[in-house]
Amino acid sequence: MVLHQVFNSPFNSAELQRFCEHAQEHDALLLLQDAVYALNHPLFSSLLTQQKTIYILANDLLARGLVCHVTQVKVISDQQWLALCVESSKVISWT
């Protein structure tokens, strides 16, 4: 599995769109920093239909006063993020 890390808000950046264009079937997505605002972006709905594994860093949600109510999204801790990076065959950061 390839882990794709997106850092910037889809309202200000095309990173999330580029992920959608390049991701393979078993790749996973991790939303970090301002990318957590993707929860409120129209592109996010299409991500959920692609059957991708989607993670969001809990501290970044908390820092922005957001809560994730989407059951298909896994909210993870910093320690789980590290484990996810180690378990992945490759990590790609979209910046």
Q: Which domains does the chain have, with CATH numbers?
A: 2-94 (3.40.1260.10)
Instruction: Output b/e per residue, 67-93; b: 16+ Cβ within 10 A.
Output: ebeeeebbbbeeeebeebeeebeeeee
**Which is higher by pLDDT, 21 or 28?**
28
Confidence of residue 50 (pLDDT cuts 50, 70, 90): confident
> Looking at the predicted structure, is the pLDDT value of residue 51 above 80?
no
Confidence of residue 9 (pLDDT cuts 50, 70, 90): very high
10 Å CB burial of residue 95 (0-12, 13-18, 19+) is exposed
What pLDDT score was predicted for residue 46?
Answer: 83
Give the tokens for residue 50: 């692609």
Tell me the pTM.
Answer: 0.93
